[in-house]
A and B are shown apart, each in its own frame.
Chain A
């Protein structure tokens, strides 16, 4: 829901530059996993604000609502038990779209305007333009976009772009009772995150770190992890990037392919001008003269 086309930074599958010229600060959602109590208020707030049909929960033997996000569940608190030298810890992580600065979904998308990125950093799917090919699912390094089998289109967190564009914070942040979720400019959120990490270090949690992966240009969802040295414990990739296959496909392969196809057409044109049509009358005569 763009408030203005002046805030469109990137548009999928376009042949023209995006029109965004308005300079706005990059917004960011901060997730401090060390203060998450697993209450799921954010999950409920997300369902309610976006008015999404409820999904039947699955008893997984943990505090997790569902095994994975779905086309109707864009926000899932992932829960893992982790044991380290006899010390048990509950690791909770907010799984949602990370809103990458360099979004793999957008790079892979073949449908013009189905995925856009706003100048404030929000990556948003426009389902009316989506053709349901699922390439975004291959482009995403976080396994976020989810295919809806009925509409045959793909869905994910919008960062409550409708709220943010009128100056409100995302619904999940609004609902969070522990301020584990905070919302503001990227600079402000990184400052808070770094201060929190320093505090955790001082308290003996020496591996605490900020997760803002640079392989995708940084993300608009920044996470403070107690085990910052091992993001895999939370189910986060250590160094996410747009898959090599997608980069090759949309980069060199595209140019090689286009050149080859145009070259092939030019080649047959040149052949026709130079050699033209076969004339079997003539060469049959040649055959006979040989005999």
Chain B
């Protein structure tokens, strides 16, 4: 193997849907934090004021739910937990310590990525259902006020869980995994990278190769990133 080639990790559609979930999630996170604690209410002021923020938050929540559903349909097969993930999970401490030589090869997504995916899908569903109750609280009859109470707690707990996943995801993508950001923005990774991080995917999935002549600039860019 030459090792010098580049392969397609995310097709255009996947990058677009990731960007849409990312943008809508960050808006929901920031505005949600503004309502979570008075110390961050200024975020709502920056984003157009408390009233507008409250007005938009649920609509953006619907956008997030929609693109999350799209992401679910797109990636659910790749995200299925397999027996190989068990071995990966046992070696997770090595992965955390960057002792990657002792980590079993991963398929298209490793166990950590799969955990994040399912956390976001289940958390997103909980946020959507509880959010609908909070949105239409005036329409929830007084006799069913247990729903109002439950919605507050579910919304908070689900949001906190996704924030935990989001912090780790953002940190890993930006700071820990070289080429991580490049891959999700431009779609291509080096073969070397793929062999290191997702060897099973490179072997079995046989991702499309990027002709070297088409992306000289990004190639150089990516190499310097790595």
**Which residues of A approach B to under 8 Å, CB–CB?**
13-15, 110-112, 129-135, 137-138, 143, 146-147, 149, 152, 243-246, 248-249, 253-254, 257-258, 260-261, 264-265, 268, 271-272, 275-281, 283-284, 286-287, 290
Interface residue from A131, A149, A257, A283 paired with B54 (Cβ < 8 Å): A131
With both chains docked as a complex, state the minimum distance between the C-beta of B88 and any C-beta of chain A, in angstroms. 15
With both chains docked as a complex, state the minimum distance between the C-beta of A72 and any C-beta of chain B, in angstroms. 14
Q: Are A283 and B226 in contact (CB under 8 A)?
A: no
Q: Are B98 and A147 in contact (CB under 8 A)?
A: no
Interface residue from B41, B137, B153, B192 paired with A112 (Cβ < 8 Å): B41
The stretch of B8-16, B70-78, B79-87, B167-175 in contact with A is B167-175
Q: Are A287 and B101 in contact (CB under 8 A)?
A: yes
Q: Are B145 and A13 in contact (CB under 8 A)?
A: no
Specify which chain B residues have a CB less than 8 angstroms from the CB of A287 in the assembled complex: 101, 195-196
Specify which chain B residues have a CB less than 8 angstroms from the CB of A137 in the assembled complex: 137-138, 148
Q: Are A280 and B178 in contact (CB under 8 A)?
A: yes
| Number of residues of chain B lying within 8 A (CB) of chain A | 47
Contact code string B46-80 (vs A, CB < 8 Å = 1, else 0): 00001101110000000000000000000000000
Interface residue from B36, B53, B145, B167 paired with A264 (Cβ < 8 Å): B167
Specify which chain A residues have a CB less than 8 angstroms from the CB of B96 in the assembled complex: 271, 275
List 20 extra interface pairs beyond A261-B160, A284-B196, CB under 8 A.
A110-B36, A110-B38, A111-B41, A131-B44, A131-B53, A131-B54, A132-B51, A133-B54, A138-B145, A138-B152, A245-B149, A246-B152, A249-B152, A249-B156, A253-B153, A253-B156, A254-B36, A254-B37, A280-B100, A280-B193
Q: Are A260 and B101 in contact (CB under 8 A)?
A: no
With both chains docked as a complex, state the minimum distance between the C-beta of A250 and any C-beta of chain B, in angstroms. 10
Interface residue from A152, A265, A279 paired with B98 (Cβ < 8 Å): A279
Which are the 8 A-B pairs with shortest beta-carbon distances? A245-B149, A286-B101, A280-B196, A147-B138, A134-B137, A131-B54, A268-B171, A131-B50
Give Cα distance in the complex from A147 to B39, angstroms.
26
Specify which chain B residues have a CB less than 8 angstroms from the CB of A260 in the assembled complex: 160, 164
Interface residue from B41, B97, B171, B197 paired with A13 (Cβ < 8 Å): B41
Specify which chain A residues have a CB less than 8 angstroms from the CB of B44 in the assembled complex: 131
Specify which chain A residues have a CB less than 8 angstroms from the CB of B118 in the assembled complex: none
With both chains docked as a complex, state the minimum distance between the C-beta of B57 and any C-beta of chain A, in angstroms. 9
Contact A257/B38 with A131-B50, A286-B101 known, Cβ cut-off 8 Å: no
7 A-B pairs (CB sep. < 8 Å): A129-B50, A133-B134, A143-B145, A257-B156, A268-B167, A275-B97, A276-B176
Asked whether any CB of chain A lies closer than 8 Å to the CB of B210, the reply is no
Asked whether any CB of chain A lies closer than 8 Å to the CB of B150, the reply is yes
With both chains docked as a complex, state the minimum distance between the C-beta of B174 and any C-beta of chain A, in angstroms. 10
